[in-house]
């Protein structure tokens, strides 16, 4: 069996794995990244669209801030709409921060390009990835590629392999505790080469279901509508999608809507999920491998980045100063932030979506939540602080 050696073996070449590898490299720490998908498949994924300030700072530190600032759109607020009533959340006025609209697809492309340019070993299209000896001093990761079995000997394994990855499974069932809520609906998203309907994002509650108007640039729009969890994309023609979106965002907004052909259309399931602990021996989970949030709060990608900022700080302190304190505290530090993001994402999802089993009282509570936010600067500030990103510990 072929043997490779590195300091940190990273499973997953999504935003978490790529950013971790780059931040470690900046401090002279070597890593190898494994991914079961091809580079093309990874770079074709359409996912998040909103970056917190902390995420922008981390990407600048990783040396991929140029295109982000050249093409990204700084946003100072967004619109909450509830059955036609509107309330703007003034992020800049309430928090002094902005968010950056820049697609995760572009973040991933920028990070892969930089990692490869710096000679990082990213091994795509691997199979049968297996963490081994994770509680030993020298854990290993085995995989196969082109029929050959390879073993990577390392000091640490970073499980950045997403919700469906293998790293979380390396934590024994009697130690791993998971928490989950699956929502009774999904998000049907489309991309179209048309200017966005408004300058800022619109999160809309409507009796027929939730809708979100977002964007990727001044000429490319991203729209979502809540759909049944069992819906099939084939059930949704472009015309049916646009007609439904118009109803949910209301005529006043929709008169600015430019319909166009969708060039990406997909349905994403919604769930809240947390796995504890995020560390077992020399295995560390980061990003979707450890937690999932419904995208209503725009937290998924940003949580992955904050995990990586905490993990890279811990690993760097260990290698430079042989101080393992941050490593020991990694899971607890991340989880305090994760649970606050889970709460915010659950709150936004509960207020804005139609739940088939909601009683009339619960529907009144949804409206009351909106009215409380619209009527209280304190409540609006709390929402804005969570959306813009809570401070890193
Ligand atoms: P990722 O899932 O991005 O990356 C994991 C990587 O690990 C993948 O490249 C995968 O191929 C690889 N992998 C998996 N198993 C492996 C194995 N066994 N061996 C080797 N490699 C393996 N977040 C938002 O903030 N806003 C959104 O609108 C939004 N929309 C989303 C839509 C969808 C359909 C999904 C699935 C997620 C969405 N998210 C959104 C969340 C998303 O952005 C994640 O938070 C983000 O991708 C997390 O990054 P990673 O943790 O790196 O995981
Ligand atoms: C997106 O643009 O894809 C997007 C933006 C904000 C969200 C979710 C998705 O809350």
Distance CA 197, CA 247 (A): 14
Please report the pLDDT score of residue 40 as a whole number: 97
Q: Considering every ligand atom, which ligand is closest to the CA of 216? A: 2
Residues with CB under 6 A from ligand 1: 11-17, 34-37, 42, 47-49, 104, 126, 129, 160-162, 164-166, 268, 287-288, 295, 298-301, 304
Average pLDDT for the chain:
97
Confidence of residue 12 (pLDDT cuts 50, 70, 90): very high
| Atom nearest to 47 CA in ligand 2 | 3
| Residue 162 to residues 168, 195, 258, Cα–Cα distance (Å) | 9, 32, 35
Ligand 1 geometric centre to CA of 45 (Å): 9
Please report the pLDDT score of residue 230 as a whole number: 95
Pick the CATH number of 2-179+270-388 from 3.30.590.10, 3.90.10.10, 1.10.1050.10, 3.50.50.60: 3.50.50.60
Task: Please write down the long-range contacts of 198-201, taking CB distance under 8 Å and 24 or more positions apart.
Answer: 198/79, 198/253, 198/256, 200/75, 200/76, 200/77, 200/78, 200/79, 200/88, 201/50, 201/75, 201/78, 201/79, 201/101
> In the predicted model, what is the mean pLDDT of residues 343-364?
98
Question: Can you read off the two tokens belonging to residue 199?
Answer: 């300058």
Report the nearest-CA residue for atom 7 of ligand 2: 298
Distance CA 129, CA 127 (A): 6
Ligand 2 geometric centre to CA of 57 (Å): 19
- Active site positions, annotated: 75, 203, 295, 299, 387
Residue whose token pair is 């209503």: 296
Ligand 1 geometric centre to CA of 68 (Å): 20
| Atom nearest to 129 CA in ligand 1 | 19
Give the gyration radius of the chain's Cα atoms: 21
CA 164 to chain centre: 14
DSSP per-residue codes, 322-376: ---HHHHHHHHHHHHHHHHHHHHHHHHHHHHS--TT--HHHHHHHHHHHHHHHH-
Report the nearest-CA residue for atom 2 of ligand 2: 49
> In the predicted model, what is the mean pLDDT of residues 251-256?
96
> In the predicted model, what is the mean pLDDT of residues 88-116?
97
C-alpha torsion sign, points 155, 159, 161, 165: positive
Q: Considering every ligand atom, which ligand is closest to the CA of 202? A: 2
Q: Considering every ligand atom, which ligand is closest to the CA of 266? A: 1
Q: Is residue 275 within 8 Å of 178, Cβ to Cβ?
A: yes
Order across the sheet with 262-276: list the strands: 85-89, 78-82, 202-205, 211-215, 221-228, 177-192, 262-276, 291-292
Q: Considering every ligand atom, which ligand is closest to the CA of 47? A: 1
| Atom nearest to 224 CA in ligand 1 | 28
Q: Distance between terminal CA atoms of the chain?
A: 43
- pTM for this structure? 0.97
Cα maximum dimension of the chain: 66
Please report the pLDDT score of residue 393 as a whole number: 84
Ligand 1 geometric centre to CA of 12 (Å): 9
| Atom nearest to 269 CA in ligand 1 | 34
Confidence of residue 251 (pLDDT cuts 50, 70, 90): very high
Residues with CB under 6 A from ligand 2: 48-50, 201, 214, 222, 295-296, 298
Residue whose token pair is 């720490």: 29
Distance CA 303, CA 208 (A): 30
> In the predicted model, what is the mean pLDDT of residues 122-147?
96
Report the nearest-CA residue for atom 13 of ligand 1: 161
Question: Is the confidence at residue 268, as pLDDT, over 90?
Answer: yes
Does a cis peptide bond (omega within 30 degrees of 0) precede residue 349?
no
Ligand 2 geometric centre to CA of 14 (Å): 17
Percent pLDDT > 90 in the chain is 98
C-alpha torsion sign, points 307, 310, 313, 318: negative
Residue whose token pair is 């499974």: 169
Q: What is the pLDDT of residues 156-186, one digit of tens each?
A: 999 999 999 999 999 999 999 999 999 999 9
Nearest alpha carbon to residue 281 among 130, 141, 129, 156: 156
């Amino acid at each position: 069996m072929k043997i490779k050696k590195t300091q940190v073996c990273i499973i997953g070449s999504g935003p978490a794995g790529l950013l971790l590898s780059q931040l470690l490299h900046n401090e002279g720490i070597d890593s190898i990244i494994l991914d079961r998908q091809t580079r093309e498949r990874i770079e074709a994924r359409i996912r998040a669209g909103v970056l917190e300030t902390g995420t922008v700072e981390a990407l600048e530190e990783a040396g991929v801030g140029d295109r982000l600032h050249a093409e990204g759109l700084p946003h100072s607020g967004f619109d909450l709409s509830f059955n036609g009533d509107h309330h703007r959340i003034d992020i800049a006025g309430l928090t002094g921060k902005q968010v950056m609209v820049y697609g995760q697809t572009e973040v991933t492309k920028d990070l892969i390009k930089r990692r490869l340019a710096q000679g990082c070993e990213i091994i795509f299209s691997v199979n049968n990835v297996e963490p081994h000896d994770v509680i030993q001093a020298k854990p290993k990761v085995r995989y196969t590629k082109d029929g050959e079995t390879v073993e990577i000997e390392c000091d640490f394994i970073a499980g950045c392999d997403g919700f469906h990855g293998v790293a979380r499974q390396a934590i024994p069932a009697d130690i791993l505790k998971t928490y989950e809520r699956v929502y009774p609906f999904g998000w049907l998203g489309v991309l179209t080469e048309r200017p966005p309907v408004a300058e800022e994002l619109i999160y809309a509650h409507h009796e027929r279901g939730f809708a979100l108007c977002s964007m990727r640039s001044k000429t490319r729009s991203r729209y979502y509508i809540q759909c049944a969890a069992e819906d099939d994309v084939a059930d949704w023609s472009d015309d049916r999608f646009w007609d439904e979106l118009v109803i949910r965002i209301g005529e006043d907004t929709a008169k600015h809507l430019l319909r166009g052909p969708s060039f990406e259309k997909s349905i994403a399931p919604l769930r809240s999920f947390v796995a504890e602990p995020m560390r077992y021996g020399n295995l560390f989970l980061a990003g979707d491998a450890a937690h999932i949030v419904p995208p209503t709060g725009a937290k998924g990608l940003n949580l992955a980045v904050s995990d990586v900022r905490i993990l890279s700080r811990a690993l760097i302190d260990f290698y430079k100063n042989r101080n393992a304190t941050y490593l020991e505290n990694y899971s607890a530090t991340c989880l305090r932030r994760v649970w606050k993001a889970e709460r915010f994402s659950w709150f936004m999802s509960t207020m804005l979506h139609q739940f088939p089993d909601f009683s009339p009282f619960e529907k009144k509570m949804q409206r009351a939540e909106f009215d409380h936010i619209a009527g209280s600067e304190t409540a609006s500030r709390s929402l804005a602080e969570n959306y813009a990103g809570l401070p890193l510990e």
